[in-house]
Structure 1
Amino acid sequence: YIEEPDSSGHSFGPVSGGVIKALQLADQALGMLMEGLKQRNLHHCVNLILLADHGMENTYCTQLEYIADYLKQTSFYIYAGPAARIRAYSVPKDYFTCKCGASPETHFKPYLTPNLPKRFHYANNIRIDKVHLLVDQQWLAVRDNRYTACNGGNHGYDNEFKSMQAIFLGYGPGFKEKTEVDPFENIEVYNLMCDLLHITPAPNNGTHGSLNHLLKNPFYNPSHAKEESSPSSCPVVNLSPPSELGCTCNEVSGVFSDLLTIFVNMVLFIAGA
């Protein structure tokens, strides 16, 4: 694990000279690893994965949501930030209904844990707090105006935001060369690593085999479920579809013509009135 450029991203923001310097240090560390493998003649034998677990977004002290303004009568603790969680010490009647004075200008959306988007895979654990705030990009949800760690960068926003996307590099005998692929979720990486090691993964939320297009020789090839019934036969009897009204085409045309005449007469009557 390399703590950079995460640390510098928090301090200076994602687009900054501090992050550039941090990337140079991370590049040097990776270079030392590759040089060590080359000296041992292992650089063509080892599969390497370079992975970031999140992206980074700019944040500003002028873009803060003060949760104390919404829960004036509630004693609570808030884990502040882009993915804020609230833990109440005394729970008022409206706490779990989210009827706390939110307005259309509010820059967060509150969720109870069971109602979080299923794609987060974040609900079925007793240690997870009961109330979550999904915050707009570049905004932070904090307790009140005493919060000061706001300028710089942060992560934890909805992982569908492009700024939360991360880097993935695969190198080694198991990977295809010079191949660029579409973004994928990090929950798929575990199955990929198991395939590189030729072991069976434990049950997980990934889709085993979804990253086979990264590999030269996929270890696992998913099979489709067997059909339980034979294909049914539905021969073509007539190329002219029947009318839903049970009429012939001429009859339908006549009905349409009559309706059109009635409609035009009504319009003329209203216009004359």
Structure 2
Amino acid sequence: MINGEQPTYWYPYDGSVSNEEIINQALDWLDLPIDERPRFITLYFNDANYWGHIYGPEATEMDPVIQGLDSDIGMLMGGLNDRDILENVNIIITSDHGMTSQSRDRMIFLDDYINLDSMMVIDWTTMATIRPNEGLDSIIYSQLSGVHEKMDVYWKEEMPERLHYSNHRRIPPIICMADQGWSISTHEYFDNHPDAYTGGTHGYDPVYKDMQGIFICNGPSFKDGLLVDSFQNIHIYNLIAYVLGVTPTENDGDLNAVISMLEP
């Protein structure tokens, strides 16, 4: 939905719908008469995220998942080719995040350093966002700052600017950020959840390469065989709008960051 307006054709997300059904629906839309046919279609496949959380991205169990997704993309491309439109369609394959492996051997327990009754922890695991009880902000900050070499502690006003996580009123005063692969928890939760902190997760600092997504594009609007440097995915919206010939709504992206991949 953009500015309160829904797409012409859409469905609420339903995890029970197979990738094959999703692809067939997209191809059915492309079979519509030209005046009813959508110009922009999005498809979402959850397999890599779902199974990656369970097994971890490096697990051998992920091999058939990746192979299955590759077959799904092949099915889509085959359907476009059968309709003799493959060479006329711009395709973007992307993700909103990456993933890394967790381990129960890489834990940071806040209750080793602080009385949990003195605060409310809003988020856990890759980050701990902390709202201290009234009047305890400075005490809790000093108790946590520097206590673990794999955890950085910030006042929200001092968060790295590139994270854009400083100014909103709902951001708690204190933020603890774990290094990639480490998890922030309590002994009680850890002991009561023997399957927690296994498999994979995301939510660490996006400077880590494992946190970065993929971006693959193909079609008449894009240069062939071009490899570009990493870029923030906030720019993809402007790229899509340019390819479609529509004016993007106000956003934080910049077409100039990705324009090098476009054909003149």
TM-score by length of 1: 0.71
Q: 1:182 aligns with which of 210, 226, 229?
A: 229
What's the CA shift for 1:60? 0.7
Q: Residue 169 of structure 1 is aligned with which of 216, 222, 243?
A: 216
The 5-angstrom pairing of residues 124-143 of structure 1 reads 124-143=167-186
Is 1:84 aligned to residue 131 of structure 2?
A: no
CA root-mean-square deviation? 2.2
Aligned CA distance change for structure 1 residues 24 and 122 (closer, same or farther; 3 Å) = same
Match of 2:4 in 1: none
* Aligned match of 1:155: 202
Displacement, 1:170? 0.4
Over 3 Å counting, the alpha-carbon distance change for 1:144 and 1:181 in structure 2 is same
The amino acid that maps onto 1:143 is T
**Is the CA contact (8 Å cut-off) linking 2:126 and 2:183 kept in structure 1?**
yes
Off by >4 Å, runs of 4+ in structure 1:
none
Quick check: 1:12–1:153 contact (8 Å CA) kept in 2? yes
Q: Does 1:208 align with 2:255?
A: yes
Question: Helix, strand or coil: the match of 1:16?
Answer: coil
- Contact map agreement 2:109 2:187 (CA 8 A) in 1: yes
- Residues 99, 201 of structure 2: 8 Å contact kept: yes
In the other structure, the counterpart of 1:45 is 88
Query: Separation in 2 of the partners of 1:181 and 1:51?
Result: 14
Indicate conservation of the 8 Å contact 1:67/1:143, yes or no. yes
Q: Describe the SS at the equivalent of 2:98.
A: coil
Q: Verify the 8 A CA contact 2:129 2:172 in the aligned structure 1.
A: yes
Question: In 2, Cα distance between the equivalents of 1:26 and 1:83?
Answer: 30
In 2, distance between residues paired with 1:29 and 1:95?
Answer: 53
Q: Offset of 1:77 from its aligned partner?
A: 3.1
Q: Which residue matches 1:27?
A: 70
Number of the residue aligned with 1:117: 160
Following superposition, the deviation at residue 18 of structure 1 comes to 1.7
Q: 1:206: Cα distance to partner? A: 2.3
Identify the residue that residue 100 of structure 2 maps to in structure 1: 57
Q: Name the CA distance, whole Å, in 2 between partners of 1:34 and 1:152.
A: 31
| More off after superposition, 169-178 vs 24-33 | 24-33
Match of 1:198 in 2: 245
Change (3 A) 1:41 1:113: farther
Report the Cα distance in structure 1 between the residues aligned to 2:174 and 2:147, rounded to whole angstroms: 20
Question: Is the 1:78–1:143 Cα contact (8 Å) retained in structure 2?
Answer: no
CA offset digits 1:4-61 (Å, max 9, x no partner): 2112221111111122111112112222221222222221222111001111111111
CA-CA distance at 1:174 after TM superposition: 0.6
Equivalent position amino acid for 1:142 in 2: S
**Match for 1:7: what amino acid?**
Y
**CA shift for structure 1 position 94:** 3.6
Counterparts in 2 of 1:261-272, with a 5 A limit?
Answer: none
Aligned length: 216
Going from structure 1 to structure 2, the CA distance change for 1:189 and 1:79 (only over 3 Å counts) comes to same
Report the alpha carbon displacement of residue 127 of structure 1 after superposing the two structures with TM: 4.1
Q: Percent identity?
A: 32
Give the letter aligned to residue 65 of structure 1. I
Distance apart, 1:112 and its partner CA? 3.1
Between the aligned partners of 1:151 and 1:6, the Cα distance in structure 2 is 14
Q: Whose radius of gyration is greater, 1 or 2? A: 1
- Comparing both structures, which one devotes a greater share of its residues to helix? 2
**Structure 2 CA distance, aligned partners of 1:137 and 1:56?**
10
Judged with a 3 Å threshold, the aligned counterparts in structure 2 of structure 1 residues 159 and 216 are, in CA distance, closer, same or farther, namely same
Q: Is the 8 A contact 1:107 1:136 kept in 2?
A: yes
CA contact (8 A) 2:52 2:199 kept: yes
CA distance in structure 2 between the partners assigned to 1:130 and 1:35 by the alignment: 52
How does the TM-score come out when normalised to structure 2? 0.74
C-alpha displacement of 1:200: 2.4
The DSSP-based 3-state class of the residue aligned with 1:157 is coil
Unaligned runs of 5+ in 2: 1-43
